């Protein structure tokens, strides 16, 4: 049974300090924590993909295990220690146990020139070497005429049962799945160790969204909503490579990223750029009444939409984000950076976008000639709803199987749910057939 929580930040705090790198024990722990808060109806499961197996043009990386890692001065004083913060080593660093001169050590030290007291986050997943990360102010204090002892005891494990893992859940509309409608996918990555906003905030906003869709299910006949959590890029590639049969059923995607920092919300548009999903998200943000920004595909906060909406997959995918922020990719990206009301607001915007897009369909008429409205209970009294009364003719003229409900609402200038509720009355009487939003997957 899914656990209650005091706040979204309290969930984030549970996995914040874990070494959540691509394939690691702490990533497994994080996916377990996420699963404990996902609603039971999502049937959340964790999948495993064996290391070094081919996934499209990539290979699944090995499991990374760090037993200990530290840098000592000549007198044995610890300068940095992995135990204190997992950011102190470059993720996926190779093992080393050597005494080094400053000239030998210095190329392996990383710091931030913008955040002088912060530890930067760096990684070498594929082009591997080794290195330590430390604050610039500490780097500047290190003597150049001394020697240093660098120790990283790490392993790269290829055990098939301890491979790359992702967490996936699926929430259906009221009455169960509608295969013709397909699915939307909601994604957030969990692979940034000891960082709160990137993208722990997106993870907990997605959990909040999942709970909302269970507490108030989507209307019958809507798309199902798939939730995905895991390591960035390679996680989505591995998952899709193992589930190519799902791709044709995906109708759209939303990536939730950096949702907790104090910046305005931003809509990163799909690769199609003016897709129905883009227009719906823009409509929701405008209706939300908050200031928001827009950007082109992968130009605001590029994440796994590059995979979902990329070559050969081509599922329209947007991102909802508050990126950028000054603490990005450093130890300053802590719980002070994220705010519950902002993470909740992002979940609310995503929820309304999902509800509109996933419940949308294309009505096609089954009748000929002017419809006898009053005789079929479809007349709208102008004294009760003047705007809808004035729009009836325009709405019916668009029942030719070419316009979705959202398109019709947009054209007549009425609220989506008002128009959908009215079209549903035609559908209930058999005067329109609901055609699904067609898949564009694979048409890259």
HEC assignment per residue over 90-143: CECCCCEEEEEEHHHHHHHEECCCCCCCCCECCECCCCCCCCEECCHHHHHHCC
Q: Is pLDDT at 363 greater than 90 in this prediction?
A: yes
- CATH code for the structural domain at 63-157: 3.50.30.90
* Mean pLDDT calculated for residue range 121-131: 97
Q: What is the pLDDT of residue 443?
A: 56
Q: Is pLDDT at 95 greater than 90 in this prediction?
A: yes
**Interatomic CA distance for residues 116 and 137, integer angstroms:** 6
With a pLDDT cut of 90, the percent of the chain lying above it is: 98
Task: List CB contacts of 370: < 8 A, sequence separation 6 or more.
Answer: none
Domains in the chain: boundaries: 8-60+161-359, 63-157, 362-435
**Interatomic CA distance for residues 138 and 74, integer angstroms:** 16
Helix (H/G/I), strand (E/B), else coil: 373: coil
Q: Is pLDDT at 192 greater than 80 in this prediction?
A: yes
Q: Is the dihedral of CA 63, 67, 69, 74 positive or negative?
A: negative
| Max CA distance (Å), the chain | 95
Pick among 3.40.630.30, 3.30.365.10, 3.40.630.10, 3.40.50.360: CATH of 8-60+161-359: 3.40.630.10
Residue 1 has, within 13 A of its CA and on its CB side, a CA count of 2
What's the whole-model pTM score?
0.97
Q: What is the pLDDT of residue 442?
A: 81
Q: What is the pLDDT of residue 46?
A: 98
**Torsions phi, psi for 155 (to 5 deg):** -135, 155
Domains 8-60+161-359 and 63-157 share a fold: no
Q: Is pLDDT at 294 greater than 50 in this prediction?
A: yes
Place of tokens 């002088």: 116
Q: Is pLDDT at 32 greater than 70 in this prediction?
A: yes
Helix (H/G/I), strand (E/B), else coil: 385: coil
> Radius of gyration over alpha carbons of the chain, in Å?
25
User: What are the structure tokens assigned to 254, written together?
Assistant: 């939303």
Cβ–Cβ contacts within 10 Å for residue 126, how many? 10
Q: What is the pLDDT of residue 444?
A: 44
Q: Is pLDDT at 290 greater than 80 in this prediction?
A: no
pLDDT per residue as tens digits for the range 310-352: 999 999 999 999 999 999 999 999 999 999 999 999 999 999 9
Reference 272, options 318, 225, 237, 321; nearest CA is 318
**Torsions phi, psi for 35 (to 5 deg):** -60, -30
Q: Are 318 and 293 in contact (CB under 8 A)?
A: no
Task: List CB contacts of 237: < 8 A, sequence separation 6 or more.
Answer: 55, 56, 58, 307
pLDDT per residue as tens digits for the range 141-162: 999 999 999 999 999 999 999 9
**Interatomic CA distance for residues 39 and 217, integer angstroms:** 12
Q: Are 220 and 170 in contact (CB under 8 A)?
A: no
User: What are the structure tokens assigned to 33, written together?
Assistant: 């924590």
């Amino acid at each position: 049974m899914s656990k209650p929580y005091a706040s979204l930040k309290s969930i984030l705090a549970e996995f914040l300090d874990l070494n959540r790198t691509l394939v690691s024990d702490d990533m497994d722990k994080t996916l377990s924590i996420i699963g404990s808060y996902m609603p039971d109806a999502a049937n959340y499961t964790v999948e495993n993909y064996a290391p070094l197996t081919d996934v499209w043009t990539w290979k699944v990386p090995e499991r990374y295990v760090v037993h200990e890692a530290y840098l000592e001065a000549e007198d044995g004083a610890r300068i940095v220690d992995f135990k204190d913060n997992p950011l102190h080593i470059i993720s996926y660093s190779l093992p080393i146990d050597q005494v080094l001169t400053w000239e030998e050590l210095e190329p392996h030290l990383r710091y931030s020139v913008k955040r002088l007291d912060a530890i930067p986050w760096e990684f070498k997943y594929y082009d591997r070497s080794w290195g330590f990360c430390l604050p610039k102010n500490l780097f500047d204090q290190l003597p150049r005429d001394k020697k240093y002892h660098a120790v990283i005891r790490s392993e790269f494990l290829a055990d098939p049962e301890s491979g790359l893992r992702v967490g996936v859940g699926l929430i259906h509309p009221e009455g169960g799945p509608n295969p013709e409608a397909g699915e939307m996918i909601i994604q957030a990555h969990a692979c940034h160790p000891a960082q709160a906003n990137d993208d722990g905030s997106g993870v907990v906003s997605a959990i909040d969204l999942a709970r909302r869709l269970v507490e108030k299910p989507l209307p019958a006949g809507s798309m199902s909503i798939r939730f995905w959590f895991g390591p960035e890029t390679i996680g989505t590639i591995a998952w899709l490579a193992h589930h190519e049969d799902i791709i044709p059923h995906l109708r759209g995607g939303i990536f939730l990223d950096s949702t907790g920092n104090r910046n305005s919300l931003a809509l990163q548009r799909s690769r199609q750029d003016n897709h129905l999903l883009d227009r719906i998200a823009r409509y929701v943000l405008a209706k939300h009444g908050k200031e928001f920004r827009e950007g082109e595909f992968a130009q605001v906060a590029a994440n796994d939409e590059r995979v979902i909406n990329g070559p050969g997959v081509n599922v329209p995918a947007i991102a909802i984000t508050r990126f950028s922020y000054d603490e990005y990719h450093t130890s300053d990206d802590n719980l002070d950076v994220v705010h519950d009301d902002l993470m909740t607001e992002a979940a609310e915007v995503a929820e309304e976008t999902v509800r509109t897009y996933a419940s949308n369909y294309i009505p096609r008429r089954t009748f000929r000639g002017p419809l006898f409205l009053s005789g079929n209970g479809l007349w709208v009294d102008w004294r009760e709803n003047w705007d809808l009364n004035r729009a009836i003719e325009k709405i019916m003229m668009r029942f030719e199987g070419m316009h979705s409900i959202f398109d019709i609402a947009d054209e007549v200038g009425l609220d989506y749910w008002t128009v959908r509720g009215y079209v549903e009355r035609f559908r209930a009487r058999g005067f329109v057939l609901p055609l699904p939003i067609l898949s564009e997957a694979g048409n890259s």
